[in-house]
Amino acid sequence: MKKKSAILTALVNSIKNYPWVFVGVIFFTIGGILTVVFPPLIMEWMVNELTAGNAIRLWQVVGYFLVMASGALMDVGKESMVTVFGQKVTHGIRTVMCKKLKVLPASYFKDQDTGNVVSRFVSDVDMIEILFTSGIIGMVADLCKLISILAVIGIKSPGLGLLLVFVLPIIYAITRYFQKRMKKAQLKHRQAVGRVSDHIPDTLRSIRMIHNLEKEDFMEKRYDHWIHESFEALNKVNLYDAVYSPLLIELRALIVAAMLVLAAMTSGTAQFFGMSVGTVVAMISYVTYIFTPLESIGMEIQNIQSAIAGATRIEEFMREEEISIDSDEVIENKEPIVEFRNVDFGYNKGQQILKNQSLVIYSGEHVTLAGRTGAGKSTMFRLLLGLYRPWNGKIFIEGRLATSIREEERRSLFGYVEQSFKPIPGTIAEQISLRDEIITREDVLSSLEVVGLRETVESFDDGIDTIFQDGLFSQGQIQLLAVARAIVANPKILLLDEITANLDSETESRLLEAFEKVSKNRTVISISHRLFEKMNKTRMVYIE
């Protein structure tokens, strides 16, 4: 089944949820069109009255200026409504994209650059806002103005209307020429911006390795290359834009000159062009007006092409394969809590890590995975967590396929303690609960009590509501906080990933004491053999 466009979905929802904004856009757009058509007609009548020797009254002049002023007010109202509407749409797009982000498999984040993903949420969605504020709505309004003005010109001056009919295809051909090239250049520019955005965080993340290997020059040249590519693409866009608008201005001047010359040549052409003094004034105004929206359309085409490039990248993101939930298959023997059955897996094709791997773990058992670096110990954790799908074989948890367990069930089923604690912005309580509404303050305090941190945390002025920041806890306390995060939902299975790899003996002994408490009545799977080897109650499993 084909999925709906994220942009179209956000647009429809914005119209449904904020109808007054959409109605405001339509009202002010129509008002802006009318206030463009009427002022030249009023001016034509006033000039003809003057040439006929009739006086112009004050209220007529005031009325003309009021119509002109109302045009400006309509433009202000339209811009305001369009801006609000564009923000509502982009908010909806980001909401849909965030929901999509939650259902993407772990392999997506492994394969995609961070800067590239961020640019889709920030730069590309911002371009969609420009699509509404300075793009498609403005173009529709300008096209309506163009058609209205052409209709009036055709009635008032058939000759000028016919002249414009011949000129407009030329303008259309020029517009199409620039449209195609601007789209290509804009897409190339967006891609280059994504690479530039990704290069900086990648460099900072690997800065020590870069210094150790003395690859500063290489990284600098690489960054210069991306900057240069982005600059070249943007230069092409600016070149097309710089040429397009002056061409339209020259065409406007030529049309006005041709109109006046043809009107003055013979009585026949003068009659065909319909040129009274007032009509000449009105037609010059209309020619100016008709090229103003055309010039705006030139800019709007550029904005639309930029937005299309951004929209293409957004739709590519929305078409990414999602995590598929398998049917809740149950094995006949429900006694093992964890089972790997003939599992084959690798992150990349042709680079297999696990081959025909089988493992059975029973409820309440403590198991340590051992083996050389790269044997697949951490990979087995990721498969168990359902982050990846095995190439072949099956993984069962309590008789259910690991890939059939839904996200909302996982935290109550297993707790995962990583090598390093990854904080989130917020309080100490939020570090443990991860803002899960199901977890109460009592649950947080209870988990802190188990790992021996409750007294420390309650000594702070704001207790568990203290804002977490670097330096608030020692390294050992940070690791205990990670354990509290893992057990707060009272999981049945506890996964420990080399948590003592970088700890001194004193800190490790504190962790040992904590794990003696948290491992009771739980199945524990560890990659750090030092802990449970000291506790003398672990089964060693060697991964080859």
Give Cα 431 to chain centroid, integer Å: 26
DSSP state of 112: S
| Amino acid of residue 400 | R
Tokens of 350: 């042709």
Tokens of 398: 């309590």
Question: Exposure of 389 by Cβ count < 10 A (0-12 exposed, 13-18 middle, 19+ buried)?
Answer: middle
Pairing of strands 400-401, 414-417: unpaired
d(CA 396, CA 415): 17
Give Cα 497 to chain centroid, integer Å: 32
Q: Which residues of the chain are under the pLDDT cut of 70? A: 1-4, 263-275, 291, 294-295, 298-299, 302, 324-335, 499-508, 528-537
Cα distances (Å, whole numbers) of residue 303 to 131, 152, 187, 296: 6, 29, 12, 11
The phi and psi torsions of 423 (rounded to 5 degrees) equal -75, 160
Q: What is the pLDDT of residue 467?
A: 92
Q: The sheet that has 354-362: what strands, in order across it?
A: 354-362, 336-345, 392-397, 400-401
The 10s digit of each residue's pLDDT in 252-285 is 778 777 777 776 665 555 555 656 777 777 777 7
pTM of this structure: 0.58
Q: 358, 146 in Cβ contact below 8 A? A: no
d(CA 445, CA 435): 15
Q: What is the pLDDT of residue 432?
A: 92
> Look-up: residue for tokens 């010039």?
295
Cα distances (Å, whole numbers) of residue 335 to 20, 277, 398, 411: 60, 99, 8, 21
The phi and psi torsions of 470 (rounded to 5 degrees) equal -60, 140
Q: 505, 536 in Cβ contact below 8 A? A: no
Complete DSSP assignment for 343-408? EEE-SBTTB--EEEEEEEEETT-EEEEE-STTSSHHHHHHHHTTSS--SEEEEEETTEEGGGS-HH
If phi > 0 it is left, if psi is from -120 to 50 it is alpha, else beta; for residue 398 that is left
- Could you give the maximum distance between any two Cα atoms of the chain, in Å? 114
Tokens of 352: 């297999």
Q: Which residues pair with 351 in a beta bridge?
A: 348
- Which parts of 52-124 fold into alpha helices (H)? 58-102, 106-111, 114-119
d(CA 78, CA 24): 7
Q: What is the pLDDT of residue 210?
A: 83
Q: What is the pLDDT of residue 427?
A: 92
Q: What is the pLDDT of residue 474?
A: 83
Q: Between helices 475-487 and 505-518, what is the axis angle to 10°?
A: 20
Helix or strand (DSSP H, E) at 506: helix 505-518
DSSP state of 124: I
Give Cα 90 to chain centroid, integer Å: 9
| Amino acid of residue 162 | L
Q: What is the pLDDT of residue 430?
A: 92
Tokens of 59: 């209220």
d(CA 464, CA 167): 73
Q: What is the pLDDT of residue 228?
A: 86
d(CA 120, CA 261): 54
Complete DSSP assignment for 129-171? HHHHHTTHHHHHHHHHHHHHHHHHHHHH-HHHHHHHHHHHHHH
Q: Could you give the 3-state DSSP secondary structure of residue 541?
A: strand
Q: Could you give the 3-state DSSP secondary structure of residue 121?
A: helix
Q: Could you give the 3-state DSSP secondary structure of residue 462?
A: coil
| Amino acid of residue 96 | V
Both ends of the chain: CA-CA distance in Å?
42
Question: Exposure of 12 by Cβ count < 10 A (0-12 exposed, 13-18 middle, 19+ buried)?
Answer: middle
d(CA 32, CA 366): 75
